[in-house]
Amino acid sequence: MCGNLLVIMAIIYFQQLHTPSNCLVLSLAVSDLLVGAVVLPFSTVLFVNPCWYVQLCKMRATIDIMLSISSILNLCFISIDRYFAVCQPLSYRTKITFNTVGIMILITWTGAALCGIIITTRGEARGKSERRCAFFQNSSLNLIGAITGLYIPILIMFPIYTKILLVAWRQARSIQSTSSGVTVSRMEKKATRTLAIVVGVFFLCWAPFLISMTCLPFIDYTVSDSVFEAFKWFAWTNSGLNPFIYAFFYSWFRSAFRIILSGKILFKNLTKAKLF
C-alpha cells in the first residue's frame, strides 16, 4: 500500500511525470492500492467470520474481482505501451496519446466492473448455509474468470515482451561497434531480467489461484477454504510487487520518492523539479 501510494503521489505531484505512459502506471497503482486498502481487510474479516449475509458476501466478491481484473488489465495495456515505445519509437508519440490512454483506462475499469458484477451475481455460493460467505461454484463462470484473469493476459503479455526482448537484443548488437562488449552484455542481461520479472512474477502470483478455479469443477470442489484462500492471498501479493516492477526500477521515480519521503514538498513548490 505504501509503495502504491508513493507512485500515485509522485505521478500526480511532479509535472515531469505527467505522461501517457505514467497514466497507465497511475491506474495500476490505484487498483493495487485499493486491493490492499479494501479487499484484504474485508477478506480477512470474512475468512475469520464467514457467517455473513449473502449480500455482503456478494459485495465483497464484486469489489475483489473488479479490482483484481483491473490490475491485470492495466498490466496488459502497460505491455502494449512498452511495445510501441521500444518497437515503434518513431510513431509512439502519435499512437500513444493521452486520449488513447484514457480509452485504455476506461476499457480497463469498465470491463473489470462488468466482470465483477456478472461473475458475482450469476455465481452460486458453495455450502448449505445461506449465510456462509464462500467462493462461488459455477464451472462456466470459473472458466471465464480464469481465461480473463490468466490465459488471455499471458497470451497478450508474453508475445509482446518477447518481441521487446528481441528488439532490445538487436539494438544492443547494433551499437556493438561503438560500445564495449561489457556494455552490450549488460543491456542484454537487463532486457532478459525485465522480461523474466514482468511475466514471471505475474504468472507465479496468479497461476495457483486461477488454475485452481479452472480445476475445481473437475475435482468436485474438494479444495478446502483455507487452501483456496491461501492461493488468493498469494495472488494479491502481485499488487504489492507491481510498484517495484513498474516504478521503483526507474531512476526518475526513485528521485521523486526521495523528495517526497524527505518532506521537502511540504516546505516548497517542487512540482517542476527535474527528475531526469
Q: Flag whether 68 is in a domain.
A: yes
The residues that bridge with 125 in the sheet, in sequence order, are 136
Distance CA 115, CA 83 (A): 26
Distance CA 170, CA 178 (A): 14
pLDDT in tens, the chain (276 residues): 999 999 999 999 999 999 998 999 999 999 999 999 988 887 777 777 666 656 677 787 788 888 988 988 898 898 898 888 888 888 888 999 999 999 999 999 998 998 888 877 775 544 444 444 555 555 566 677 677 777 888 888 888 888 887 887 777 677 655 555 555 556 555 555 666 677 788 888 888 887 887 777 677 666 676 787 788 889 889 888 888 887 777 788 888 999 999 998 988 889 988 887
Q: Flag whether 43 is in a domain.
A: yes
Q: What's the pLDDT at 34?
A: 93
Residue with cell 518481441: 163
- Position 150, amino acid: L
Q: Flag whether 275 is in a domain.
A: no
Taking the CA atoms of the chain, what radius of gyration do you get in angstroms?
21
Q: Flag whether 56 is in a domain.
A: yes
**Which domain, by its residues, includes 186?**
2-266
Q: Flag whether 7 is in a domain.
A: yes
Q: Flag whether 271 is in a domain.
A: no
Q: What are phi and psi of 50, to 5 degrees?
A: -75, -10
The residues that bridge with 136 in the sheet, in sequence order, are 125
Q: What's the pLDDT at 125?
A: 46
The residues that bridge with 51 in the sheet, in sequence order, are 132
Cβ–Cβ contacts within 10 Å for residue 202, how many? 25
Residue with cell 496468479: 206
- The closest alpha carbon to 254, from 264, 244, 263, belongs to 244
Angle CA(42)–CA(44)–CA(48) in degrees, nearest 5?
Answer: 120
Q: What's the pLDDT at 29?
A: 93
Q: What's the pLDDT at 213?
A: 76
Angle CA(118)–CA(150)–CA(92) in degrees, nearest 5?
Answer: 100
The H or E element spanning position 100 is: helix 98-121
- Structurally, the chain folds into a number of domains equal to 1
Q: What's the pLDDT at 144?
A: 72
The answer, as to whether pTM is greater than 0.75, is yes
Q: Do 127 and 133 contact (CB within 8 A), yes or no?
A: no
The residues that bridge with 132 in the sheet, in sequence order, are 51
List the CATH number of the domain containing 252: 1.20.1070.10
Q: Flag whether 160 is in a domain.
A: yes
Q: Flag whether 274 is in a domain.
A: no
- The closest alpha carbon to 71, from 202, 219, 186, 165, belongs to 202
